[in-house]
A = this chain, B = another copy of it.
Amino acid sequence: MDEITFAVLGTGGIGRRALEVSQHKDALTPVAACDRHGVAVDFDGLDVDELLAATEGNIDSEPRSGSEESSGDEPRDSEVATDGGTGATTAGGGVKQHGEDRGVVASSQARPSEDAIQEIIDRGDRIDAVLLALPNYEHDFIPRTADRFAEGGYSGVMIDVLKRSRVIDMLDDRSDEFEENGITFICGAGATPGLLTGAAALAAQSFVEVTDVDIHWGVGLKSGYEDNRGTVREDIAHLPEYDIETARDLSEAEIEAIIDDHDGVIEFEDMEHADDVLLERAGVCDADDVTVGGVLDVRNDEKPTTTTVRVTGRTFDGETATNTFQLGDETSMEANVNGPALGYLKAGVRRNRAGEYGVFGPADLLPGF
């Protein structure tokens, strides 16, 4: 495949790891990265090592209080994490923000900007793909950001690693807009939804009818806890006693107390993960047949359970069986989010260059069902 240039919106956990993983990928050149403080652009390719080193310990990921004024397209509250399902964000806890320059501006390649996203849009004709690595903003932030790109005349790939099912509908509402503008939008392309959604779609190929998809993830987060407080907060919103709003209003101390109550290991059942709608839109099964749950251990690096996808179905010759996909326990959440994100990005660019526009989920980029 020809060279692909891409931009990263957001330089928190996902954005930083995506830049890092791209260094291992042929034909992928990161040319721009931004956060709400500034932007770095270099069409010869960003110096990723410098950017990561300069901004280490200087990530802008603070949540704003619910009462704080915000306007326009600037990110507001921590509301929906968009971390590909198993948490690669750094948002939510106000951690890692020190030094004179905040966020990406700490890099010598970056400069402050009043509207960093607009600066990316203005250079969109030289950017093949835009990875929206924007965690913990309100759940229509990604759709609204896509609107800005469309209005700004961008025609290329946009890709996110969002989790919540409801955001997919908001993107689908924009399908015509994307098609008119030549935008190929890939949604839910992290770990789950993303890698595991794709695995489910592929595992379904043995069957003529899929009756059950069970996705169960395990994440051990001890060494990554400080970087991933926002994800923990967002995951807490999936617990039966909480929702997005109540979880957002929790203090750090309250979150710590919840973690203590669970002895550091929090189990989730029947989460609102977009795997369901993404598999349904690809025709694999009904959204109701998809179950997502997981176990998060914030005090151990070892996964508390092996991440497993089980797809049960009926074969054309009348048998019922279950195909299984398992991730090795040594693969980190970050590896399972960012590898697939860039893999789907490449697939999206190929689609875009062939003139296929609109909204695609991971399962749409696999063999048809």
A319 at the interface (CB under 8 A from B): yes
Q: How far is the CB of A331 from chain B (nearest CB, A)?
A: 5
Contacting pair A367 B343 (CB below 8 A) = yes
Q: How far is the CB of A21 from chain B (nearest CB, A)?
A: 5
A206 at the interface (CB under 8 A from B): yes
Contacting pair B335 A315 (CB below 8 A) = yes
**Option from B1, B317, B326 in Cβ contact (under 8 Å) with A334:** B317
**Option from B1, B202, B207, B321 in Cβ contact (under 8 Å) with A199:** B202
The CA of A231 and the CA of B355, in the complex, are separated in Å by 41
With a cutoff of 8 Å between Cβ atoms, the chain B residues found around residue A336 in the complex are 205-206
Q: How far is the CB of A51 from chain B (nearest CB, A)?
A: 16
Q: How far is the CB of A219 from chain B (nearest CB, A)?
A: 14
Q: How far is the CB of A366 from chain B (nearest CB, A)?
A: 6
CB-CB under 8 A for A368 and B1, given A317-B332, A330-B321: yes
The CA of A283 and the CA of B25, in the complex, are separated in Å by 10
A211 at the interface (CB under 8 A from B): no
A364 nearest in chain B by CB position: B350
Q: How many residues of A sit at the interface, in one of the four size bands?
A: 35 or more
CB-CB under 8 A for A339 and B17, given A319-B330, A330-B320: no
The CA of A327 and the CA of B24, in the complex, are separated in Å by 31
Contacting pair B328 A325 (CB below 8 A) = no
The CA of A338 and the CA of B206, in the complex, are separated in Å by 8
**Option from B205, B329, B343 in Cβ contact (under 8 Å) with A340:** B205
**Option from B25, B321, B325 in Cβ contact (under 8 Å) with A325:** B325
Per-residue contact bits, chain A 180-215, to B (CB 8 Å; 1 contact, 0 not): 000000000000000100110011011111000000
A233 at the interface (CB under 8 A from B): no
Contacting pair A316 B208 (CB below 8 A) = no
The CA of A21 and the CA of B336, in the complex, are separated in Å by 33
With a cutoff of 8 Å between Cβ atoms, the chain B residues found around residue A315 in the complex are 330-332, 335, 339
Q: How far is the CB of A182 from chain B (nearest CB, A)?
A: 13
With a cutoff of 8 Å between Cβ atoms, the chain B residues found around residue A20 in the complex are 316
Contacting pair A24 B316 (CB below 8 A) = yes
CB-CB under 8 A for A323 and B331, given A354-B354, A367-B340: yes
The CA of A58 and the CA of B362, in the complex, are separated in Å by 43
Contacting pair B208 A21 (CB below 8 A) = yes
The CA of A325 and the CA of B368, in the complex, are separated in Å by 19
With a cutoff of 8 Å between Cβ atoms, the chain B residues found around residue A326 in the complex are 323-326
The CA of A235 and the CA of B199, in the complex, are separated in Å by 29
The CA of A365 and the CA of B26, in the complex, are separated in Å by 18
A268 at the interface (CB under 8 A from B): no
With a cutoff of 8 Å between Cβ atoms, the chain B residues found around residue A362 in the complex are 367
Q: Please report which residues of chain A, range 355-369, place their CB below 8 angstroms from some CB of chain B when the two chains form the complex.
A: 355-356, 362, 365-369
Q: Please report which residues of chain A, range 123-182, place their CB below 8 angstroms from some CB of chain B when the two chains form the complex.
A: none
The CA of A25 and the CA of B319, in the complex, are separated in Å by 17
With a cutoff of 8 Å between Cβ atoms, the chain B residues found around residue A24 in the complex are 208-209, 316
Please indicate which of the listed interface residues A25, A331, A346, A365 has the most CB atoms of chain B within 10 Å of its own CB. Answer: A331
Q: Please report which residues of chain A, range 70-97, place their CB below 8 angstroms from some CB of chain B when the two chains form the complex.
A: none
A351 at the interface (CB under 8 A from B): yes
With a cutoff of 8 Å between Cβ atoms, the chain B residues found around residue A355 in the complex are 354-355
With a cutoff of 8 Å between Cβ atoms, the chain B residues found around residue A6 in the complex are none
Could you list 6 further interchain pairs (A-B, Cβ under 8 angstroms) beyond the known A24-B316, A323-B325, A323-B328? A25-B208, A315-B331, A324-B326, A343-B369, A345-B368, A347-B366
